[in-house]
């Protein structure tokens, strides 16, 4: 009788030992990754980046961007569409009509999805007037 109780007890504990004996892979974070590199380059080919910053938005805003909280809020307000960062140009700002292209880019991951975005402006003044001080690109 004693052997039968021991066998039943051992059989009952076996599944518990198996559940705790093997570690299962768990996600490192509850948040989907959101980390991008934002850059500004003269010209259209992005060969020589003049400024670039790293921005991570999940779980907290951080990075080399001068205002990561505002930049993450601007990207979130754009709803993942980086074209949403572009506003109508400020009509109160006069820009010269010369062609000296400036390209802005965003490359990385936004809410778990890979992004690669690029927009070229005719010159730096047009870029500043169109972004209207958008926090994501104020670096």
What is residue 85's predicted lDDT score, i.e. its pLDDT?
80
Listed in sequence order, the residues at least 6 apart from 45 whose beta carbon sits closer than 8 Å to its beta carbon are 103
- Coil, strand, or helix at residue 117? strand
Superfamily of domain 29-137: Subtilisin inhibitor-like (3.30.350.10)
Q: Taking the CA atoms of 48, 71, 116 and 126 in sequence, report the sign of the dihedral they define.
A: negative
- 30-63: pLDDT as tens digits: 667 889 999 999 998 767 888 999 999 988 899 9
**How far is the C-alpha of 64 from the C-alpha of 33, rounded, in Å?**
17
- 85-129: pLDDT as tens digits: 887 777 788 889 899 999 999 999 988 889 999 999 999 998 888
What is residue 62's predicted lDDT score, i.e. its pLDDT?
94
Q: Which pair of structure tokens corresponds to residue 9? A: 């007890």
Domain coordinates in residue numbering, the chain: 29-137
- Torsions phi, psi for 33 (to 5 deg): -65, 140
What is residue 42's predicted lDDT score, i.e. its pLDDT?
92
Cα-based angle 35, 105, 135 (whole degrees, multiple of 5): 70
- 60-79: pLDDT as tens digits: 899 999 999 998 998 888 87
């Amino acid at each position: 009788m004693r052997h039968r109780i021991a066998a039943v007890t051992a059989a009952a504990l076996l599944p518990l030992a198996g559940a705790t004996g093997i570690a299962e892979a768990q996600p490192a974070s509850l948040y989907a990754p959101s980390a991008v590199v934002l850059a500004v380059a003269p010209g259209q080919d992005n060969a020589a980046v003049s400024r670039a910053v790293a921005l991570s938005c999940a779980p907290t805003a951080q990075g080399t961007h001068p205002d990561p909280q505002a930049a993450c809020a601007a990207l979130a307000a754009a709803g993942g569409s980086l074209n949403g960062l572009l506003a109508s140009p400020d009509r109160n700002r006069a820009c010269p009509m010369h062609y000296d292209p400036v390209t802005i880019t965003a490359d990385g991951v936004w809410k778990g999805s890979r992004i690669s975005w690029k927009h070229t402006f005719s010159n730096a003044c047009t870029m500043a007037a169109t972004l209207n001080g958008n926090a994501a690109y104020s670096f």
